[in-house]
Structure formats: structure tokens, C-alpha cells
Amino acid sequence: MPTYAIGDLQGCHDPLLHLLDTIRFDATTDRLWLVGDLVNRGPDSLGVLRLLKSLGDAAISVLGNHDLHLLALAEGYGRLHKSDTLDAVLAAPDRDELMHWLRHQRLAWLENDCLMIHAGVLPAWSAKDAMRYAGEAEAALQGPDYRLFFERMYGNTPTAWDESLSGIERLRGIVNSFTRLRYCTAAGEFDFQHKGALGTQPAGLLPWFGVPGRKTADVTCVFGHWSTLGLINQPDLIALDTGCLWGSKLTAIRLEDRQVFAVQCPQAKRPTA
């Protein structure tokens, strides 16, 4: 049963269909891992959600920052950004069903020594830690009081993880790590400002996966979120955001043998100055 991990879709429905044709995906025998950011900025987030929901257990997704943004908007929190392309989802007749499905996706998924997250994992967290913390936040997102989380989800605090954190600060720290992290300090302090390619970061910042002693180095971390990073396919790291939204490629990797598949994407979003 082959498993294909696929990079950030961001509402690019047609390239997804093209990629599924390319890998000859069969929902009865194959599985998809989606690294999050299923929606937003691209032309057809509604089509993406409907397709993935229809695949049932054949598709496993983790939540990205754009997915959480959509969920918050659907509950009346946050604000629409100029670059958002979520109106069709928010106005859809099956919106509630789609939001229920999306809210019940994971923040982390560990299987066969592969840990899938959207953005990153704090260097001090082991894979076991990551799954435990993800479970805490998933319980809040899927529980009866989930709207309380969306009410206070946005923010850059805490600036570092501390096991003694509690309440919304703890949940926000967990979610920010999994869905927003690119760079941090060697001590694990978050940085959410710099988004550039490796080597462009200010002094003192490291990519989360480059911090010495990172505790998830014993598994393969599969992630997206970082289009300026591009494709990485190495024993302990698979980066899959290859800029489909920006007119580059949508990429899949078959996890069993690391074979790469990619399709060219029309530019859905123009870079801003």
C-alpha cells in the first residue's frame, strides 16, 4: 500500500488532480499524506476540501496555518486578508460539514518513523513529545469548547516553550510550533518574522531542523509551509512546499522508496514586493 506525501495545496485543485493522475492514485490501495495548508490564496479551496473529504481514510492531513485561519473565520473570529480566497468555502451549502471535517484533522501524524507536521517541531521536542502535545491541541480543537480556542488563537506569544505553560498560552505555543515555525534560536525561542531562504536569516536564527541536538533527528520529519526552502529529500527530512501557488510545482514523494513526482502549476498568486 504506497503512501504519497504531497506538499502545500493552498486551493490549487487542478494541479492536485493532475498530480493524482501522474501517480495513478487509487483510493482503494494507496494513501495520501497532506502536509497542510490545503486552502487559501489559490483558486479553488472549496474543490480541494470536497475532494479530500471524499477520500475518507485514504487521505490523512495535518492542519496548516491557512487551514486554521479558515476555521477561525467560519466561527466569526479573525479577519479576512486581502490575499484570502475563502469566500466560496464560507458561502458553500456544505460549509458546516467541511469545517467539521477540517477541524478533525491532525496537527501531527507519526507512522513508520515518519513524523508529518505542517511547519516544524521545536528542537527540544522528541517525536513522542510532539504527538503528546499535538493531542492536547487536537482535543481542544475537536472538543465542545473549540470556539474558545479560535477566539484567542492569533498571536506571537508565548515566545518560547515552557512545560509549565497552561491554558490558551500553552495551546497557542503548541499550534504555533506545528503550523508557523521556520526559524528559531538555538535555545528554541520562536521567530515568526523571517520567511526567507536559508542563509538570509538574521544572526542568531537557525532553521528549526538545523538546531544542534534536535530531538526529532531519529525520525523523518515530513513538512511543508516553507516555499523558499524548496524540495528536500534526505534521510531525516522531507520538505515538500515547492511553490505550486507561485507557479512552480506541486510535489509528491512516495515514502516507501522516496521517488519524487511533480507537476508544473500555473501561477495562482503573484509575489508581492
Percent of the chain with pLDDT over 70: 98
Q: Decide if 198 is inside a domain.
A: yes
Q: Which residues pair with 220 in a beta bridge?
A: 114
- CA distance linking residue 245 with residue 267, whole number of Å: 6
pLDDT tens for 108-139 read 999 999 999 999 999 999 999 999 999 999 99
C-alpha cell at 249: 510545482
- How many other CB atoms are found less than 10 A from the CB of residue 141? 22
Q: Decide if 257 is inside a domain.
A: yes
pLDDT tens for 55-98 read 999 999 999 999 999 999 999 999 999 999 999 999 999 999 99
What is the model's pLDDT at position 273? Answer: 38
Specify the CATH number for the domain of residue 13.
Answer: 3.60.21.10
Q: Decide if 272 is inside a domain.
A: no
Q: Decide if 32 is inside a domain.
A: yes
Domain span holding position 129: 3-264
Q: What DSSP string describes 161-224?
A: --TT--HHHHHHHHHHHHHH-SEE-TT-BEE-S----TT-SPTT-EEGGGSTT-TTTTSEEEE-
Q: Decide if 238 is inside a domain.
A: yes
Q: Decide if 269 is inside a domain.
A: no
Q: Decide if 77 is inside a domain.
A: yes
pLDDT tens for 217-244 read 999 999 999 999 999 999 999 999 999 9
Number of domains within the chain: 1
Q: Decide if 37 is inside a domain.
A: yes
CB 65 within 8 A of CB 37: yes
